[in-house]
Amino acid sequence: GVIGPIIGGNLAMFSWQYPFLFYGVSILLALAVYFWLPSTGGNSDVSLLAFAANYKAIIKKGSFLVVAGYNFIMAFLMISLVTYVPLYFSAAMGITEGMAGNVLALQGLTGIVVAAKIKDIALRFNTTRLVAGGLLLTVLALLSFPLHTTLIGVAFSVLVFGFGLGIVLSLINTMITDAVRPEFLGAAVSLFNMMNFAGQAASPVVLGAITARLGLSTAFIAAAAVALVAVTATFIWGKLLPVTFK
């Protein structure tokens, strides 16, 4: 995102507790949704067993598993960026939290630009190569972070990361609607989001353990290795990716 890093980074300059208060806004939004937005769910006659059967049918589809797998990987990589780049800023460069947040916002800004142009980009390039190319950009960005000694260098790598992330996320968020039949879409989106949260949970656990043993720079290398494995997998299972833009 763009707004979150800017607000969070600047609040952290006053106290590390303040950025967490920002999440209190979600309480106000929840109340607004509850009181002012109409319910669209209605009464559902679908049993728990029927919904579980939908899950079972979905996970048998190779196209869905591939797309959901990418969602896990991209969430893993995103958390590596927003966690370890600020730590690197502080430990190696002495940059303030506010400036770190401003630089991280460049990633979201790049993602917005890419998302706006993703159809034009997808129509020009093979889907498999486009996904692999986006992942390779994240690999290059992650490997370059420990090498930078200037703010401009880190900002450039954040832009490159945002461009790669924007390509892959824009594609898979569109692909998920074509990976399963319409009647399974609700369950598919649910599982798709679960993979996102699983990636967010796995990233700090894995990279935190690596950082504790081998140092901060190694976390970037480990995250890049995960992305590189995904690049290799793309050329093996890329044929299962749905072709969304025609």
Q: Which pLDDT score, from 0 to 100, does residue 104 have?
A: 80
Quote the CA–CA distance of 239 and 128 in Å, as a whole number. Answer: 7
Q: Note the pTM of the prediction, 2 decimals.
A: 0.80
Quote the CA–CA distance of 1 and 24 in Å, as a whole number. Answer: 18
Number of domains in the chain: 1
Q: Alpha helices of 89-215 — where are they, by DSSP H?
A: 97-124, 127-144, 151-175, 185-214
Q: Is 4 a domain residue?
A: no
Q: Is 2 a domain residue?
A: no
Q: Is 31 a domain residue?
A: no
Which CATH number characterizes residue 191's domain?
1.20.1250.20
Among residues 63, 97, 116, 115, the alpha carbon closest in space to that of 243 is found at 63
Q: Is 98 a domain residue?
A: yes
Q: Is 74 a domain residue?
A: yes
Among residues 168, 95, 85, the alpha carbon closest in space to that of 133 is found at 168
Q: Which pLDDT score, from 0 to 100, does residue 10 have?
A: 62
Q: Is 8 a domain residue?
A: no
Residue 81 host element (H or E): helix 62-88
Quote the CA–CA distance of 29 and 149 in Å, as a whole number. Answer: 41
Q: Is 181 a domain residue?
A: yes
4, 8, 154 from 147: Cα distances, Å:
26, 26, 9
Residue 65 contacts residue 73 (beta carbons within 8 Å) = no
Residue 64 contacts residue 200 (beta carbons within 8 Å) = no
Q: Is 60 a domain residue?
A: yes
Quote the CA–CA distance of 2 and 139 in Å, as a whole number. Answer: 21
List the pLDDT tens digit at each of the 246 positions of the chain. 556 666 665 655 666 565 556 666 667 777 777 677 765 555 555 556 666 777 777 877 888 888 899 999 999 999 888 888 887 777 777 776 677 777 888 888 888 888 888 888 888 888 888 999 999 999 999 999 888 878 888 889 999 999 999 999 999 888 888 887 877 787 888 888 999 999 999 999 999 999 999 988 899 999 999 999 999 998 888 777 776 666
Tell me the residue range of the domain where 92 lies. 48-240
